[in-house]
Structure formats: structure tokens, C-alpha cells
Amino acid sequence: MTQVSTDPNATPPRAFDGFSDLAERLADLDLRFSEMAQCGEESIAHQAREYRRQIRAFEPSVTFIGQVKAGKTTLVNALTGWPDLLPADVNPWTSVVTSLHMSPQLKPQDRRAAFRFFANEEWDHLIRQGGRVGEIAARAGADTELEKVRAQLDEMREKSKARLGRKFQMLLGQTHDYDTFDQELIQRYVCLGDDFWEDADGSPDQGRFADITKSADLWFPGPDLPLGLCIRDTPGVNDTFMIREQITINALRGSRLCVMVLSAQQALSSVDLGLIRLISNVKSRDVIIFVNRIDELADPVSAVPEIHASILATLRRFDGPQEAEIIFGSGYWGHHAVAGRLDDLGSDSAEALVSWAEAHVTGALAHLPPQEIIWQLSGLPALGDAIAQRVEQGVGARLEQTLNVALDNLQTGKDISVPRDGSGRFEPRQPTMAAPDIAHQLDRIEDRACAALESHLARMHEAFANRSDNARRAFLGRATGSLVKHLEHYGEGEVWTYDPSGLRMLLRSAYKVFVQGAGKAGTEVLAGAAEDIGALYRTAFALETDGPAIKPPPLPSAPAPISLGQTIALDLRGSWWARFWRRQRGYHAFADDFSRLIHEETKPVVEALHHQCAAPFSQELRNTLTGFIQGQRDILTGLTQDSAVSPHATAPRNRLQRSAS
């Protein structure tokens, strides 16, 4: 691989200038919290410092998913401004999610890396059971397919042992940390090839740990970035054992924003239903579709509108996010623009570039240097702007709202602690209630609010469980009815299939109702707690009845139900399904085996919806409530104590801490 630069900071093109406005507003909030941190009341100053740390730690993330060989890694490298950062020619066997943490606060010497291996139980699930395909094949009784899977796994296991030796099993579950990294180190963990040992020119260390590496995290400076950003590069989802599908689901769960990368040569079709299933469970505004490799089209100007129409038609047909923004471009062009290598594009790519430029280079763009023109034509600046816009409107807006509410509440406490007297001096206001009485009132407010929230959530969870269970039963009933009709009309000789999208739609609807109900309950309880705390302020310090109000914090965002996109037996159309079908004998055998298979297949999907979406959202609501009350408790306790005593030394415990004692 050509080493162009060891420093991503020297490259002129920039993709993420669109973050500038958000970064400026956060910097202004940071300054205001910095001023608040000078407050003489330590409880207020302490919280101001904590919010400053929260601002500095803000790192929005975007996950790139897509087809194998769609050019995701080349695209990601160009976006970071480091063209050869990650190896782009990765064998489709790799299962590594690579997270690139770029921060303007880091210095070159702060570069570091962490590589995490599969846990023992995850590796065992793959090796012994064959991943999701093994589960499905075993349930369906597809013995031939199961044997093929096991044969491939045996070969994979032997290669892994050959690479790693006797310590192979001991490595599982470990993390390898490094205080710096280079391309050779990265390739050791993420670049796996089937024939490394037969290749005389290859390094024996290349791909050594790639079999068992689950994730790679790289931290490096991005001084041209307005704020920190994490880009996650995932493997393609169409692997043999579907273990990468689950890895991609987990990666999507960790990000609010998703970029689906497609190849212009194959765009989007029914072959990519796995991808469509995944993104259909993400809000349209949080999905960007980037059609890569337009440099490989003979006539991109005429082909792009046709590809765009085809993608929209496929999304409509399979219930995908039709409002998602679609951007066309070339990571290859972007790579060469960043690297400054404009003379080795290749004749076909150069011809496509000229054709694309003739249609799009107008006005001020025509007067820019060639490197900047190619950078703009690559579509990467448009992609960077789209990412920045969605971050600003999503997690960025939520953070700003949280910080503004917190700042107002801290200002309220500060105004109470140091009212201005007639002479213009500041003097502390003395409370009219004793500290134990204030603490007792706070306990009552917290107990009442937590009990109300738990009551609401219990009802919401019960209703959600009933809706999801009813959806499953209704789907199974309709599918079984369709099966019986098929048998009556066509007999047992013709293979029957059934689309499970109806089940996903019902479960998605049930989850949406739960989120709306739980969110409404959280809003009401938080507003009530804020009103009660405001009343306590007014009583404790003899304030006017229309004195400053305490504001409730914004609600947390609910997790997207990504797990609904997980492949189940009915999604597959392979030969094993036909064999499962043909090995049945008699209508009752068909109905019984089908009912059992679908029950077992859909049960983990429903459980994941409860445990990975509904339950975490409920817990976030609880945390928001208790964290809000604890923050107000600290301020009130600090205001009623001698300023020389830390409010945290004697602050009453919150309700959860008290109940755990």
C-alpha cells in the first residue's frame, strides 16, 4: 500500500465544515458554564464543571453499513482525510466493526488504539452452532445445510488455531490496547485473507488476530473538525453465518445516524433485503443513502437518474425509508483528492469524472483548483453536510436543550443564593426552613415522582407485552391460514413462502405506542417534579409566589427497534427451505412444524424488542428523573449548609440509593 501521509491533518479537503454552527453554540454554552463554575456556591459550581465535561465529551456517531465491496472503507478513509488509514481490500470473512474517534482536542501524541476480541460465548455460538444460519437450519431440520456450515466452521477454526497457536482460547474476551498505531498494526487485527499462509509475499503477522477480532477503536486528532465525531465502519451484512448481521445491528444500536453505502453498479435490489430490513427500523431522517462508485459507470450523467428511480422503487416495494436522502458520489475520487494524486485516476474513471464535471461544474465551482473541484464532485462534502445537518437536528439539538435547561436551573439556584440588596452588594439569602425539613420534602417529592413513573411504566410494559404477543399470534394465525390454503390449492409439491414484513410492522407499531405512552408519562412526571421543587424553593427561601420556576429536563430518545431487521427463517429463500418444505408429509405435519419453527424464530425477536429497546428506554426515563432530582437536591442542600462544607458530604441519598440500603 502506498504511504501517502502518516498525518491526516495535512490534507486540504474537509468534509465536516457543516458542524461549525453547532460547535460555536456549544462553545458559547461552555463559556457560560465556565462563568457559572466561578460561583461561590460549590454545589452549583460543581454541576457547572460536570456540564462542561459533558460538552467536551460530546461525540456524535454515524454508522456506515452496506453491501460487501460497496467501497465503504475507501469512502470512510477519504472522509477522515487520511486516505490509507484502514485497509480497503478486506476479505469478506472479516467481522470487525472499526470505530474512528476523531477529536480536535487530541494532539498527535494522543493517538491510540484498542482491539476487542469476541467473548468466549460469542465465539462458541458461532463455532458450535453456526451463528444465526446454524440456529435457523437446526430449527428447520436442514441437516445438509447444517453440515455445510459445520464444515466451513471446522476449516475456520483450524486456520485460527494455526495463526494463534495454543493461546487461541485464552485470547477470547481480551482487549489489546496500544498507545499508538500504524497500518501494519491495524492490518494485524482487521485484514483477514484465506490464503495468507500460501502467499510468499505476505507478512506472517497480517491478519493474525482478524478471525477473533470483534471491534477496533482508533483515536486520533482531527484539528480541522469543529467538534469530535465517531465514524463506524461495519462489515457487509451478507456473510455466511449472519454473525456480521448481528454485529451490524449492535453497531447501529450505538448510533443515531446511519449511512447506507451502495455500489452504483448494483444499486439496490431484492438481493439487499437484509439491508432494507435493517434501515426500515431507523427513522427516515436518520438514514442517508450514499450511492458509491459512480466513477465505474460508463455514463454517470444518464445512469444516475435511472439508479435513483430504481432505489426509490425498491424502497417503496419493501417498505424502506422512502424519505431518506440519496447522495451520489465516488469515494475513489474523494480518496485521490485527499491524497493529492490526481494523475493516476485511471482512464475509465477519468472519463467518468469529465462527464460528471461537464454536467455539474458551474459558477464559482469552476474557478476552484482541480483538487477542490474533484473533491466536490466526489459527493463527500455533500455527505459530510448531510451528516452534520442530522447531528445538529438530532443529538446536537437534544444536547443543547439539556444544557440550556440545566443552565437556567443553575442560574435559578445562584439567584436565590446571592440576591442583590439595596446597596448593590451580594449577600447570601437565609432559608426559612431547616435543612432536615428541606431534605424530608425532597424525599417526598422524589418518592412520589418515582412511584408515579413506575406505575405508568408498569402499565405501558404490560400493554406492550400484550400487543406484541397478540401481533405474534395474529401473524402465526394468518400465516398458517395461508399455508392451509396453499396446500388445498397446490398440494405439497409446490414450495410455499410467506412474507414476514407484516409481523415486523405490527411489532414496530406496538413499540411506537409504548414509546409514546412511556414518553408522555415521563413528561408528566418530570414536569410535576419540577413544579414541586420550584414550590419548595419558594417556600424554603420565602420567595414571591411567581418566582423563577425550575425547568424539567428533556426526555431521552428511545432506541430504534433495529433488532426487528434480524433475519428469520421466512426471510430466506435458499435450497434448505425447499428441503424443509419437501420433507414434510401430510397437512398436519406441515402446520405443526411450521408453527413450531415460526414460534421459535419470532420469540427472540420479540424478546430483543423488550430487553434491548423498551427496557433501556424505561431505565433512561428513570435515570433522567432521579438525576434531575439529585441535581436539585445537591443545590438545595448546598444553599442550606455552611459554604465551607461540601454539599456532597452530607447530601441525602436519592430514592434508589435509600431503597438499596
pLDDT class of 661 with cuts at 50, 70, 90: very low
In a domain, 647, yes or no: yes
* Residues in Cβ contact with 588 at an 8 Å cutoff, skipping those fewer than 6 apart: none
In a domain, 320, yes or no: yes
Q: What is the pLDDT of residue 599?
A: 79
Residue type, 626: T
Nine cell digits for residue 477: 394465525
| Residue at which a domain ends, from 373, 395, 417 | 395
Residues 187 and 273 grouped into a single domain:
yes
In a domain, 133, yes or no: no
CATH assignment at residue 204: 3.40.50.300
**Comparing 577 with 83, which gets the higher pLDDT?**
83
In this prediction, residues 372-382 reach a mean pLDDT of 94
Nearest CA to 67 out of 212, 245, 207, 305 is that of 245
Residues 493 and 623 grouped into a single domain:
yes
Q: Is the pLDDT of residue 278 over 90?
A: no
In a domain, 527, yes or no: yes
Q: Is the pLDDT of residue 62 over 90?
A: yes
pLDDT class of 647 with cuts at 50, 70, 90: very low
In a domain, 414, yes or no: no
Q: What is the pLDDT of residue 3?
A: 34
**Comparing 201 with 464, which gets the higher pLDDT?**
464
Buried b (16+ CB within 10 A) or exposed e, 485-516: ebbeeeebeeebebebbebbebbbebbeebbe
In this prediction, residues 447-473 reach a mean pLDDT of 96
Q: Would you give the DSSP letter of residue 303? A: H
In a domain, 413, yes or no: no
Residue 433 burial class via C-beta count within 10 angstroms: exposed 0-12, middle 13-18, buried 19 and up: middle
Q: For residue 263, give the 3-state DSSP assignment.
A: strand
Q: Structurally, how many domains does the chain consist of? A: 2
Angle separating helix axes 331-339 and 72-80, nearest 10 degrees? 40
Residues 226 and 289 grouped into a single domain:
yes
Residues 341 and 458 grouped into a single domain:
no
Cell numbers 428511480 correspond to: 309
Q: For residue 390, give the 3-state DSSP assignment.
A: helix
544-554 pLDDT, tens digit each? 777 678 999 99
Cβ-based neighbour number of residue 535 at 10 Å: 17
User: Average pLDDT over the chain, rounded to whole?
Assistant: 82
**Comparing 418 with 111, which gets the higher pLDDT?**
111
Residues 540 and 633 grouped into a single domain:
yes
Q: Would you give the DSSP letter of residue 554? A: P
| Residue at which a domain ends, from 338, 373, 395 | 395
Cell numbers 502506498 correspond to: 2
Rounded (10°) CA dihedral 11, 17, 22, 27? 40
**Comparing 239 with 352, which gets the higher pLDDT?**
352
Sheet with strand 112-117: strands edge to edge? 175-178, 112-117, 213-221, 97-103, 229-233, 61-66, 257-263, 287-292, 325-328
Q: For residue 606, give the 3-state DSSP assignment.
A: helix
In this prediction, residues 597-624 reach a mean pLDDT of 90
In a domain, 349, yes or no: yes
Range of the domain at 98: 8-118+173-395
Residues 196 and 343 grouped into a single domain:
yes
Residues 386 and 445 grouped into a single domain:
no
Residues 499 and 641 grouped into a single domain:
yes
Q: Is the pLDDT of residue 145 over 70?
A: no
324-349 pLDDT, tens digit each? 999 999 999 999 999 888 788 888 89
In this prediction, residues 614-628 reach a mean pLDDT of 97
Phi, psi of 92 (to 5 degrees): -60, -10
Phi, psi of 532 (to 5 degrees): -65, -40
Residues 385 and 486 grouped into a single domain:
no
Q: What is the pLDDT of residue 513?
A: 97
Residues 198 and 344 grouped into a single domain:
yes
* Residues in Cβ contact with 343 at an 8 Å cutoff, skipping those fewer than 6 apart: none
In a domain, 363, yes or no: yes
Residues 381 and 434 grouped into a single domain:
no
Residues 390 and 438 grouped into a single domain:
no
| Residue at which a domain ends, from 352, 380, 395 | 395
The span from the first CA to the last CA of the chain, in angstroms, equals 60
In this prediction, residues 40-56 reach a mean pLDDT of 94
How far is C-alpha 41 from the geometric centre of its chain's CA atoms?
Answer: 38
Q: Which of 60-64, 247-251, 478-482 reaches the highest mean pLDDT?
A: 60-64
